[in-house]
Amino acid sequence: MKAVHPHPLSFARCQRNLTMSQLAEAARIGASTIWRAEHSYPISAESRRRLCLFFNLTSQELGLVSDHREKSALMVDHAADAFVPPALSFPALVAVTEINGPALAQMTHHPASDMLSREAGLPDASSASALLAHTSSDLAALLDAGWSVNAVLTALRTMLPGMQGLPQEARRSVYEMAAAALKGDDLQISGEHLSQEERARLCNGLRQSVMEGWRLYQSSPPAYVLVVARTQLALVQQAHALLPADLRSSLYAALYNLMGAALLHLGQYAAAQRTHQKAHIAALEAADIWNMAQSLNWQAIGANNMGQYEAAIQCIESAMRLLGYGKGEEFVRLQAHLLADWAFNAALLQEQASVQEKLERSATLLEGLGPDEEFDLSRWHQTAGRCMLLSQNYPAAIEHLERSVAELAPGWLVRKILTLVPLAEAYARQRERDASIAIGEQIVAILQPMGSAMLNQCFKELQQHMLKSFPQDQRVRRFIERARHQPLLNAVPADQMPRSGK
């Protein structure tokens, strides 16, 4: 994974504690010009001249793009990361959690209202106002990039438990390191003066933050999840010295797995496999059996998506051997998950005896266990339904998949799509057109905002099955035509549509 450093102009601006608007006023250019420059878009020669004059730096030192040829070269250099929105700002996160701290040196007076605020347990009003203004400026770049306010707040809720676990001095160190990172320096927080209580609070906060990141996975676009996970990883890396070695490696493993899962949904299969391999190495360093097995589980999912079913089963077998050394509900759930996935890969290889045996073993492990994002009875019915679909037992497939949908939690959107797609296919193969279209409409409503290349491909394959089952049906053709006008969906291209006989 490439390190993501803020733009040199942004660094120069932050060094002087200026917002974009303040810099624009001082340099006598538009605030939108500042935004364009900090996002590597070309700006006019006059704007470049004024910025160079203000900072007493060259155009190259400020990273200013002078024409479209330079912009094109920059886009080629970053093509691999083109789908990733801007990373969350560490200074903004620190400012949010450091409201009580003396962050700005120029705050020297405390009016009566500030004293009353402090007595009431509220932050210093002038400090809070200044920090909120600074934070708003930092976060405005996310809004400019198309994030909604709700998306920003959700990401902050995910990140803040880890940041709040840092002692105040360490928070300020993170703020300083964010600026140092702009210059390419690799600094870490020193843990020399932390008490045991402070260390425990930090560890618990980071654990909670990572758990919140995984909750995002089921309900949020993968590019958004990837940004949050990368920001969480950067925080763990910068707090490296504060964490016990085993926890540190386990956090790395969990975050690499989360990043790999997001990359998988973005269709970046090779990158996802490399990231899950990093997770396995990190878990190995911590002797973390569960995360080792989980990374192998994700490698199996990646192999399955690439059509490598035997390689997927090999990963599952390796993970199952590891889980024999663990105890507890989370190990049981993961075993059940692996056995069900083994059954699905066996179904793709037409090994029916193995399918039945693995599904039965998986169901036995789930007895007495309730709903869970990792794996539960709803997910088991989803997998069993897909296996029945592959064996052309459409009534059984529909029964399993309908039960899976009925038991799904409302926010588990990824799992819902992965259940509705085979359900719509099963109805199409059974020649129940209206049911197939009705479920297809549900898929479109959920899939459109997700931006998942992997799920889009599943939807595209569903449309092909519908066309094969109803080659001349006008209602099916109209449904697919409507889907083609959804910009984020990979609808069947017009040249692949069968010609109407009417």
pLDDT tens string, the chain, 502 residues long: the values are 333 456 788 878 877 878 777 888 889 887 768 877 877 778 888 889 899 999 988 888 898 876 443 333 333 233 223 333 444 555 555 444 443 333 333 333 334 334 334 433 444 555 555 555 656 666 666 666 666 777 777 777 777 776 666 666 556 555 555 545 444 444 455 555 567 787 788 888 888 888 888 988 888 889 888 988 988 888 888 777 788 888 889 999 999 999 999 999 998 999 999 999 999 999 998 899 999 999 999 999 999 999 999 999 999 999 999 988 878 899 999 999 999 999 999 999 999 999 999 999 999 999 999 998 889 999 999 999 999 999 999 999 999 999 999 998 888 889 999 999 999 999 999 999 999 999 999 999 888 778 888 998 899 999 999 999 999 899 999 998 888 776 555 544 444 444 443 3
Residue at 309 is within a domain:
no
Q: Is residue 292 part of a domain?
A: no
Total number of domains constituting the chain:
4
Both 356 and 382 in one domain: the answer is: yes
Global pTM reads 0.69
* Residue 223 in domain: no
Q: Provide the domain limits for residue 74.
A: 8-81
Q: pLDDT at position 353, please?
A: 93
The pLDDT, as a whole number, for residue 273 is 94
Same domain, 446 and 484: yes
Co-location of 433 and 369 in the same domain: no
Answer yes or no: do 401 and 451 share one domain: no
394 with 459, same domain? no
Domain end position, chosen among 362, 381, 408: 408
Q: Count the Cβ atoms, other than its own, within 10 Å of residue 185.
A: 10
Q: Is residue 392 one of the residues assigned to a domain?
A: yes
453 assigned to some structural domain: yes
With respect to residue 343, please indicate whether it lies within any of the assigned structural domains.
yes
How far, in Å, CA of 18 to CA of 403, rounded? 56
Query: Does any domain span residue 403?
Result: yes
Alpha helices in 286-393 (DSSP H): 289-305, 309-323, 329-348, 352-365, 377-390
Is 91 in the same domain as 202? yes
Please list, in sequence order, all residues whose beta carbon lies within 8 angstroms of the beta carbon of residue 105, skipping any fewer than 6 positions away: none
The reply to whether 204 falls in a domain is yes
Q: Are residues 499 and 426 in the same domain?
A: yes
Indicate the residue type of 296: L
Which value, to the nearest 10 degrees, does the dihedral of the CA atoms of residues 144, 147, 149, 150 take? 180
Same domain, 165 and 137: yes
pLDDT at 194: 66
Decide which of 372, 387, 408 is a domain's last residue. 408
Say yes or no: 66 and 95 in one domain.
Answer: no
The candidate with the shortest Cα–Cα distance to 233, out of 265, 255, 205, 207, is 255
Assess whether 73 and 87 both reside in one domain: no
424 and 498 both lie in a single domain: yes
Which residue in 278, 266, 297, 288 sits closest to 237, CA to CA?
A: 278
Quick one: how far is CA 295 from the chain centroid?
Answer: 16
Task: Tokens for 455, please give them.
Answer: 């799920």
Q: What is the CATH number of the domain that holds 58?
A: 1.10.260.40
**pLDDT value at position 33?**
80
Q: Are residues 73 and 120 in the same domain?
A: no
